[in-house]
Amino acid sequence: MKSSKPKKSAKTHTGPRSHDGVEKVRPPGARERNRARIHDDIYDAALSLFNERGYAGVTVDDICAAAGVSKATFFRYFDSKYGLVDEFNQRMSQRIDNSIDLERMSASECIRTATETVYQEWTHSAPQMRALAREFLRMGAHVSDDLGDPMARGLLRTLTLAVEKGQKRGEFPSRLEASLVAPMIVMAWTLSFAAWVDRDDETDFRASIHGLVQLVISGLSDAEASGGSAMTPTRSRSHNRRTATARTAR
């Protein structure tokens, strides 16, 4: 599975078909390589500026000047400044896609591996990437407001597929909508990242991000084991304790 790319990004063209009908992939030509270089130059220039001034303090004109391109060129690669945030998200989504195997790994393993990938990317990336990650967090409301939002689509698609795989295998209950579980995992990531930005403690960050995601996984597993609401056993035990206390009092 691959994340969608920014509008009008460089494409790899295919060549003629072989004798067995399989289409051969032709290496990108000079034009495609040049487009990819310009795309990365704009993105890298934007990251540097975001790190220096913050996302709100940078304009498209600033990015164009730093990258040495015109505004017309900028808009051939990105729809807006927000498109750079989307690009960050899509790159993160692609790294997560590359780290998991939906066919061989359990759904829980996929989710945990994706979580570790997020942790590694955020803690070991350049300061510029962290600056853009902060903007991802600032706009995080879009994850819950609109599940089709461009910023969230790659991450949500990956996680939704993982949960759906778990449901098909009986690992998670099928009555829960996978598309509603996925945003819970993304929000666990963003909440942990928010705490890390304030404290800058990588050890605590790792424990927090994995701990919150494990709560989601455990909740799914408990719901499957109980055959009903995951809260039902807790309410029953509480009710039993109150009943036992009342009998003792009598």
The whole-model pTM stands at: 0.65
The pLDDT value given to residue 245 = 45
Residue 91 included in any domain: yes
**DSSP category for residue 4:** P
Same domain for 99 and 53: no
Same domain for 158 and 44: no
CATH number of the structural domain spanning residue 40: 1.10.10.60
**What counts of helices (H) and strands (E) characterise the chain?**
11, 2
* One-letter amino acid of 117: T
The pLDDT value given to residue 129 = 65
Same domain for 229 and 135: yes
**What does each of the 250 residues of the chain score in pLDDT, given as a tens digit?**
444 444 444 444 455 555 555 555 567 788 889 999 999 999 999 988 988 888 888 999 999 999 999 999 999 999 888 888 778 778 888 899 999 999 999 999 999 999 999 898 888 766 766 666 666 666 654 444 444 444 456 778 889 999 999 999 999 988 889 988 998 898 888 888 877 876 767 888 899 999 999 999 988 876 555 554 433 333 334 444 444 444 444 4
Residue 192 included in any domain: yes
Same domain for 91 and 210: yes
**Residue 88 is part of which domain span?**
82-235
Q: What is the DSSP string of 187-230?
A: HHHHHHHHHHHHH--HHHHHHHHHHHHHHHHHHHHHHHHHTS-T
Residue 6 included in any domain: no
Same domain for 159 and 131: yes
| Domain boundary pick from 19, 44, 77 | 77
Residue 110 included in any domain: yes
| Ramachandran area for residue 110 (φ above 0: left; ψ -120 to 50: alpha; else beta) | alpha
Same domain for 71 and 113: no
Residue 18 included in any domain: no
Residue 218 included in any domain: yes
Same domain for 104 and 191: yes
